[in-house]
């Protein structure tokens, strides 16, 4: 394809992202050719776009990647972090052609195959600065049809104009007060044991609540335990009937205060079994203990966020993905802060003073991201090992 043909092809795929505050960003459509609604967030990671795409925590969101070039190492089946893609769409600067020996398909083909729209050629620096200054925005992504060869504004539906797209973004209900964990959780319980052993009684049994769990979280637990994954709505009594040695509260999307059934189940589990939570699970554990959560201006999204461990004084670089956080002023006396974010001082970790339960706001399984926080899984193992007893004496 010569430059004239390339220019014509891109002209026929013109697209725009309209924010609810009236700001519009233009680019070129790729991936699935359909319009979409979502909330725009920016991710500051320099790599790991496949893990980001397959993170259920991005359900309902357009992910704008701040790194300049995306797609250069393609897509492979080994780095998939969930059973599907739940984000609303992808926003990038330059779309690269894959040139990596692990690549099995291009980013464009991967999005098409999963029904996710994308837009490239966007001034992502300007978009990121806009979100930083004005907060996460509701948005409408609009693309044109391939048949619009000589019609610069030909729509694929009735949201053809900027004004109509802005109105649709404004009218969208958004993510506040919405239970998205129910949208991404598994349909039924299952065992995750990549290294089967004939004597499962010799290793701890972990029940993992799937609020949007990623595969490498399960791998991190399965390295030393038998893991049973259960749907987000599973009753506490059903979990205790499985005689677990520990309960893990996974990551997940949207507003933690809306996942009321999980908060009530965690209340009934506290003190009866050791518990660890991350991301949404951290927020749900805090809510179950009496704290409150609130929305951050533009959230934490990336694999380069500095967090200080107040117990050791060490700083770890972490992978994060959340728009809500535990409000410091609402923390009950039974909880103490163990980690803080060095960028904005928000709570990044808590532990119960009297019961075997702790959590962190970030993703210690490092997909994508550094391995600084892997020790948190070891601490969970040690907590369980110190308290492991016959199933008949788990309840206190």
User: Which letter, b or e, does each residue of 352-374 get, where b requires 16 or more Cβ atoms within 10 Å of its Cβ?
Assistant: beebbbbbbbbbbbbbbbeebbe
The token pair at 160 is 């053809």
What residues are annotated to the active site?
Answer: 279, 363, 365
Rounded to whole angstroms, the Cα distance separating 297 from 22 reads 18
Q: What are phi and psi of 148, to 5 degrees?
A: -80, 60
The token pair at 288 is 């179950």
Rounded to whole angstroms, the Cα distance separating 102 from 76 reads 6
The token pair at 58 is 């991005």
Given a contact cutoff of 8 angstroms between Cβ atoms, the answer to whether 273 and 13 are in contact is no
Rounded to whole angstroms, the Cα distance separating 140 from 178 reads 18
Q: Which of 54, 37, 63, 40 is nearest to 302 (CA)?
A: 63
């Amino acid at each position: 394809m010569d430059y004239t043909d390339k220019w014509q092809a891109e002209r026929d795929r013109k697209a725009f992202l309209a924010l609810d505050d009236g700001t519009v960003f233009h680019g070129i459509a790729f991936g699935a050719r359909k319009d979409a609604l979502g909330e725009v967030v920016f991710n500051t990671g320099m790599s790991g776009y496949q893990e980001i795409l397959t993170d259920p925590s991005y359900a309902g969101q357009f992910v704008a990647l701040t790194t300049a070039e995306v797609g250069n190492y393609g897509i492979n089946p080994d780095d998939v972090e969930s059973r599907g893609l739940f984000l609303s769409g992808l926003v990038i600067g330059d779309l690269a052609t894959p040139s990596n020996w692990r690549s099995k398909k291009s980013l464009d083909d991967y999005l098409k195959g999963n029904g996710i729209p994308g837009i490239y050629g966007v001034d992502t620096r300007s978009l990121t600065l806009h979100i930083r200054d004005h907060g996460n925005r509701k948005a409408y992504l609009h693309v044109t049809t391939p048949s619009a060869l000589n019609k610069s504004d030909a729509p694929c539906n009735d949201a053809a104009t900027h004004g109509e797209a802005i109105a649709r973004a404004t009218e969208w209900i958004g993510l506040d007060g919405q239970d998205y964990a129910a949208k991404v959780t598994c349909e039924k319980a299952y065992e995750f044991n990549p290294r089967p052993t004939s004597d499962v009684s010799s290793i701890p049994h972990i029940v993992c609540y799937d609020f949007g769990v990623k595969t490498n979280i399960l791998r991190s637990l399965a390295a030393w335990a038998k893991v049973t994954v259960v749907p987000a709505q599973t009753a506490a009594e059903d979990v205790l009937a499985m005689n677990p040695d520990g309960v893990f509260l996974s990551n997940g999307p949207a507003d933690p205060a809306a996942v009321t059934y999980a908060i009530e189940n965690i209340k009934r589990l506290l003190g009866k079994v050791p518990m660890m939570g991350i991301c949404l699970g951290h927020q749900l554990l805090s809510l179950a203990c009496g704290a409150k959560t609130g929305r951050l201006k533009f959230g934490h999204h990336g694999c380069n966020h500095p967090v200080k461990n107040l117990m050791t004084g060490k700083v770890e670089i972490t992978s994060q993905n959340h728009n809500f956080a535990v409000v410091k002023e609402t923390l009950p006396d039974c909880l103490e802060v163990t980690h803080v974010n060095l960028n904005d001082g928000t709570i990044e970790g808590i532990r119960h003073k009297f019961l075997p339960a702790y959590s962190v706001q970030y993703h210690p399984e490092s997909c994508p991201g550094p391995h600084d926080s892997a020790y948190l899984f070891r601490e969970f193992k040690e907590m369980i090992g110190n308290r492991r007893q016959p199933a008949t004496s788990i309840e206190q």
